[in-house]
Amino acid sequence: MSAPVLQVENLHVHYQTSAGIVKAVNGVSFQLQKGERLGLVGESGSGKTTTALAIMRMLEGPARIAGGEVILDEIDLLKLSDDEMRMVRFDRISMVPQGAMNSLNPVMRIREQIRDIFEAHGRALARSEVEATIAKLLARVGLRPEVAGMYPHELSGGMKQRVCIAMAIALKPQVIIADEPTSALDVVVQRQVVETLGDVQRELDAAVILVGHDMGLMAQFVDRIGVMYAGRLVELSPVAHVFSSPMHPYARQLISSIPNLEEKRLFKGIPGVAPSLLDPPSGCPFHPRCSEAMARCSVEVPALCETAPDRWVACLLYDEVLSHDPTS
């Protein structure tokens, strides 16, 4: 396998609150290959968006990166100065944000907003090439050239999200992070926006991290899924395996809670509530909700281990497998 384009190692993010430290991301590690699509899923507060923002170095106080490495092409992004990181954003790694309306400048036409990205990275477009370059970029995300002259409020939600994708790919980054890019859109537009994201990702051969909780969207789009719980990655497996044979008890419950039209049954949620990250349970953070918990689960913290090729899980149930695997 070739060297990963992005490597996240033991990432920790803390929020300093008046009640104490909230460990929002607690030792997350994964790798991303060129052209790969990885989905990060989990309940609200599981740490998936915080992980994405930490990789982009876009966290705001009181959040701070408390440890770890984010290696993009042999450079640790966490060691760059703010100015250096500003040059890396858009150019090598970019983000399609959750709410397009909040990330577009309401008083600037789309043309100026896209042109600014080129200028800020020392690649100012010559006057003669501005229109053609921007029209080409807009066409790649399925928008007409006239959109360049519009203000954000003149665009629909789906169009705004496409503009955000156009901005994210303007400088041809190697990695695109899309944080719930379709959460505010209706299902038809959601599908179109995700298809657009997939098309541009293929053209660039960029890697994508799709953050979200829509498992249907994940099934359509990603190659691998990382399931997060209480700030930790608890399963990381190819998407087909996560749907057909999830390993972690939380991932199993997440999959079995997806409504299914073919198989009509009682809707089953996940019992209990997500733990407080201010005072998380001892041992495995899922143990108070886990139907398979053993006595040791409230004491030992399971590490994310590869229990089968390309199948990673953080659960003490699989210690047996590991201890009998001669290759481990």
Q: Which residues bind ligand SF4 (CB under 6 A)?
A: 248-249, 284, 286-287, 290, 292-294, 297, 302, 315-317
Of 35 and 281, which CB lies nearer to ligand SF4 in the complex structure?
A: 281
Which residue in the block uniquely carries the two structure tokens 């899980």?
Answer: 313
CB of 181 or CB of 246, closer to ligand SF4: 246
Beta strand pairing status for 232-238 and 311-313? antiparallel
At closest approach, how far in Å is the CB of 296 from ligand SF4?
8
Q: In sequence order, which residues have a C-beta less than 8 Å from that of residue 245 and are 6 or more positions away?
A: none
- For ligand SF4, which is the closer residue by CB, 142 or 288? 288
Please report how close the Cβ of residue 30 comes to ligand SF4 at its closest, in angstroms. Answer: 19
Q: How far is the CB of 236 from ligand SF4 (least distance, A)?
A: 15
What is the C-alpha separation between 130 and 208, in angstroms, rounded? 27
Three-state secondary-structure class, residue 101: helix
What is the nearest approach in angstroms of ligand SF4 to the Cβ of residue 43? 15
Reported in sequence order, the residue ranges of the chain that DSSP labels E, i.e. its strands, are 6-17, 20-32, 37-41, 63-72, 75-76, 93-96, 175-179, 207-211, 224-229, 232-238, 305-308, 311-313
Q: How many CB atoms lie within 10 A of CB 327?
A: 6
Nearer to ligand SF4 by C-beta: 69 or 319? 319
Least distance in angstroms from the C-beta of 299 to ligand SF4: 10
- Judged by beta carbon, residue 100 or residue 290, the one nearer ligand SF4 is 290
Contact 111, 196 (CB under 8 A): no
CA distance 309 to 304: 13
Which lies closer to ligand SF4 via its Cβ, residue 4 or residue 281? 281
- Nearest distance, CB of residue 79 and ligand SF4, angstroms: 34
